[in-house]
Amino acid sequence: MFSVLRSSASLFSIRAVEPHNRMSSSHHPRAALCQLSVTADKLANFCTTRELLEEAKRRGAAMAFLPEAFDYIASSREETLELSETLAGDTIAQYAQLARKLDMWLSLGGFHERGRQWEAERRIYNCHVVMNNQGEIVSTYRKCHLFDVELPEKGVSLSESAFTIPGPSLVAPVQTPIGKLGLGVCYDLRFPEFSLALQKSGAEILTFPSAFTEVTGAAHWEVLLRARAIENQCYVLAAAQVGRHHDRRSSYGHALAVDPWGAVTADCGGERAGLALVEVDLDKVRSVRRNMPLQKHRRDDNFYASM
């Protein structure tokens, strides 16, 4: 295990986002965005992530965000299913223990959760778990929009629905130490009505833990995240996978934080695992919404359905 920890540490790219005015911003909570490059080795993935979370705690993070598939990315459907667990399994127990030890909230951005009819169906959920600093699960969201995309000219071919059950519904935003958090996962980012529903339900922060492909990430990742922040006047926090996971799959990286005006305030880059810290200033959310009151200007649902 020691050799894993040594080799993983050399890959870290720690980026701390410091406030412009340290005296006036000290009361704003800090969030840590983690960027991972996981494989099918669940123990090695956990060891790497643990180091990042310990560094996040040292740098004052109240909550840390892990990307989609933080537990593993396997090289086949069969391996993906074999490595999956329930929420009562060892992986979530390890993270619960770590949350308690670090006294830190965690967004576990996409857990391979065995479905309720596992023995009969052998299918899983892509489950976003929010855990408090006592290691208790306070919210779970199961990914609604599944990534079934064939782009032969771009070299992209993924069929998430081949082994994943679509989630039954959105979940209400959850109160966290950094603000009221609306939960999504990766492909959900492409559906603006999804984010709007969370914003209307009180979300101050939207989060989209992801494993975007290199092709779609280069084309769409930043512009989509900034659009969701601008149109909903929310912070958007998006942890990400990066680099090569196996011979047939690589991820784009660039874990990003975007403020309610649409400015990128943190970017982990596209090369290696690491983390970035960002201060969440909810006064900025309120100010942007007050000065440009989009929700007051929006017509009722019947108006938009009138065509």
Q: Which two tokens stand for residue 129?
A: 């778990």
Annotation says 186 is catalytic = yes
Q: Which of 34, 186, 234, 268 is catalytic?
A: 186
Q: Which of 143, 204, 214, 279 is catalytic?
A: 143
Q: Which of 51, 55, 68, 214 is catalytic?
A: 68
Annotation says 68 is catalytic = yes
**For 127, what's the count of Cα atoms within 13 Å in the CB-facing half-sphere?**
22
User: What is the rounded distance in angstroms from the CA atom of residue 116 to the CA atom of residue 111?
Assistant: 15
- Residue with tokens 């989509």, as numbered in its chain: 224
Q: What is the dihedral of CA 154, 159, 160, 165, to 10 degrees?
A: 150
Q: How would you label 254-283 residue by residue, b for 16+ Cβ within 10 Å and e otherwise?
A: bbbbbbbebeebbbbebeebbbbbbbbbbe
User: What is the rounded distance in angstroms from the CA atom of residue 99 to the CA atom of residue 229?
Assistant: 28
Q: Which residues are catalytic?
A: 68, 143, 186
